[in-house]
Each structure stands twice: as C-alpha cells, then as structure tokens.
Amino acid sequence: MGTVEGSCSGCTRRWTSLRLAHCAKCHRSFSGAWTFDVHRHMGASDNERGYCEDPEQIPSLELRNDNVWHRRVGEHELSRQDVFHSRV
Ligand SMILES: [Zn+2]
Ligand SMILES: [Zn+2]
C-alpha cells in the first residue's frame, strides 16, 4: 500500500518515498541526496560525462531489504551511541 510518488521512464522501478533518489543512468535507488551523490562522479568538464560508481565498491553504502542503497552506519557512529547509552 502507499501512494506512488515517483517512477522511472527507463525501468520498471516505482517508489513511494519522496526522499528516495533514483538514478536515471544506472537505475539504482538511493535513500537520499547524500547516498546518491556518493555514487555519482561528475565529469572533469562540461564536455566530459560523469559516471556511476558501483555501490558495491563503496564501503559507506549498503543495499538493504527495500532494494535501496543506504548509508552504512559506521563504527564511529555506533561507538558514539554506546557512549550515550552508558551515561543514561
Ligand atoms: Zn547511477
Ligand atoms: Zn530507472
């Protein structure tokens, strides 16, 4: 259920989250602008086309059950949470 907020003319992907960023080049879906930007590489000049890096090769991204690439929660952030809990 849920309202379809977006679709792609180049593939069959549909999504319901407004924040989701779908790449029209490689047809992968990303959780937001940050994760999208991580996989996109802009060309050095206007004449040069950018390219998509395979997210499998990017340690800071992970594919979750919703078939969307999310930012991987780093060990640094996890340890910060542990500190927070220990003070409560
Ligand atoms: Zn892409
Ligand atoms: Zn697509």
The alpha carbon of 72 and the centre of ligand 1 are apart by a number of angstroms equal to: 18
Q: Which two tokens stand for residue 37?
A: 């930007």
Cα 33 from Cα 11, distance rounded (Å): 20
Which bound ligand lies closest to the C-alpha atom of 11? 2
Q: What would the pLDDT profile of 22-78 be if each residue is shown by its tens digit? A: 999 999 999 999 999 999 998 777 777 789 999 999 999 999 999 999 999 865 555
Which bound ligand lies closest to the C-alpha atom of 13? 2
**Model-level pTM?**
0.73
The alpha carbon of 10 and the centre of ligand 2 are apart by a number of angstroms equal to: 5
- Going from N- to C-terminal start, the domains of the chain cover 6-87
The alpha carbon of 38 and the centre of ligand 1 are apart by a number of angstroms equal to: 10
Q: Which two tokens stand for residue 52?
A: 């998509």
Is residue 30 within a helix (H) or strand (E), and if so which, with residue range? Answer: strand 29-30
